[in-house]
Structure 1
C-alpha cells in the first residue's frame, strides 16, 4: 500500500507526498508474520 497525499506548499505550488516508507515497513512486518505462522 502506498499512501499519496497532494497538498499546496507556502508558495502555492502543488506537491505530492508519498508514504512509501511506512507502507514498506508494514508489508515487511506482515511478511515476517506469515513466515513464522508457516
Structure 2
C-alpha cells in the first residue's frame, strides 16, 4: 500500500510539472507572437 501511495505522489508531482511547463511554453509563444507583430 505504501508503494502505491508513493507512486501516486510521484504521478501528481509529474502532472504539476507538466502543467507548469505548458504554462511557460504558452507564455513564450504569446510573447513571441506579440514581438513578431
TM-score category of the 2 structures, normalised to the smaller one: 0.5 to 0.7
TM-score, normalising length: structure 2: 0.58
Number of corresponding residues: 29
Query: Which fold has the larger relative contact order, with Cα–Cα distance below 8 Å and residues 6 or more apart in sequence?
Result: 1
> Would you tell me which structure has more helix in proportion to its own residues?
2
TM-score, normalising length: structure 1: 0.57
How well do the aligned residues superpose, as a CA RMSD in angstroms?
1.8
Runs (4+) of structure 1 exceeding 6 A deviation are: none
